[in-house]
Structure 1
Amino acid sequence: MSLTAEDVRNVEFSNAPVGRRGYAKHEVDDFMVRIAKTLSKEDDVSAAEVHHVQFGRPLIGRRGYDEREVDDFLDQIEEMMIDEAGLRPHAYRVPAARDRSPESSAEPVRDAG
């Protein structure tokens, strides 16, 4: 599923469950703006940045966004960025040195010694 800048601008996250602080809303919102701008070619957030982003906690007594919802959404964004960049096929490719060529797949030659 491909997300648009508009999808990112309009995403809404639930509050963290009672007893949990969650992620600081303003930090998440600011990062979502950057992602939306990236999808509109106005910024350059990378899949690695999406993967490694960390958000602070809201003030004690306040609830931020539900961590699981934010993380799940960011996982979708990261996957989409990886797919669109064409990185997926190479991520799991076996190095050429380990590929089996016709010569290397022949029966082993016995030592004449």
Structure 2
Amino acid sequence: MFGVMTEDVRDTRFARTPAGHRGYDATEVDAFCERISAAFAGRAMLSAAQIRDHEFASAALGHSGYDRDQVDDYLDRACVKLEYARRGDAPHPGPEPLSPRDVQRLRFSAPPAGRDGYAATEVDTFLDVVATTLAHAGPTGLSSQDAKAIDFGPARPGLAAYYADEVDAFLDVVVRTLTEQEQAHTVS
């Protein structure tokens, strides 16, 4: 399982930004991807939270950097795979990036000390809707636009909370999965 992610990191190529747009500094992204590869190979320590919290510098003026959306999508996938690896689970191997089973087994961390988190009950309800939508793919389920518009409230003191950065990264995966599902239905 670790080897697969290690190979993914080595084989990943990001598009360069067009003239006039500043993407992420390519050298910095490449170095961070090497850290991810080393973490999956067991040669370095790197948590999903560290991946999510990492900020890349913009490419220098006059240089094209890596496409920001492609890099962010890749890091989201790396976080999900790292969470699976941490739990000893294998990610869903099929063509869909996310399955109902993946959603049902997902667990988010509590927010770090001193930081607010999302209300766990709201997130859990959303996860049920996502799992149902993925199980019964079609035009009547949750749409990618619905997922983009979701706005979880903060947890009240003393109630269960989830680390917002983890939930947000997962939400990006949900939006991408639903978008792909919708595109597949419009092509059929």
TM range (shorter): 0.7 to 0.9
Change (3 A) 1:69 1:90: closer
Contact 2:40/2:82 (<8 A) preserved? no
**What's 1:75 paired with?**
76
**What's 1:66 paired with?**
67
Deviation at 1:45, TM superposition (A): 1.0
**Greater helix content:** 2
SS at match of 1:20: coil
Counterpart amino acid of residue 7 in structure 1: D
* Overall identity of the aligned pairs, in %: 31
Match of 2:107 among 54, 69, 89: 89
Counterpart amino acid of residue 57 in structure 2: G
Q: 1:35-55: per-residue Cα shift (whole Å, max 9, x none)?
A: 001110000111001101101
Whose relative contact order is higher, 1 or 2, with alpha carbons under 8 Å and at least 6 apart?
1
Gaps of 5+ in 2: 88-104, 110-119, 125-158, 160-188
Gaps of 5+ in 1: 99-113
**What's 1:23 paired with?**
24
TM-score by length of structure 1 reads 0.73
TM-score by length of structure 2 reads 0.45
Counterpart amino acid of residue 60 in structure 1: L
The CA RMSD measured in Å over matched residues stands at 2.5
CA distance in 2, matches of 1:27, 1:7: 18
SS at match of 1:89: coil
Detail structure 1 runs of 4+ shifted over 6 Å in the superposition: none
Change (3 A) 1:12 1:85: same
How many corresponding residue pairs? Answer: 95
CA distance in 2, matches of 1:89, 1:28: 28
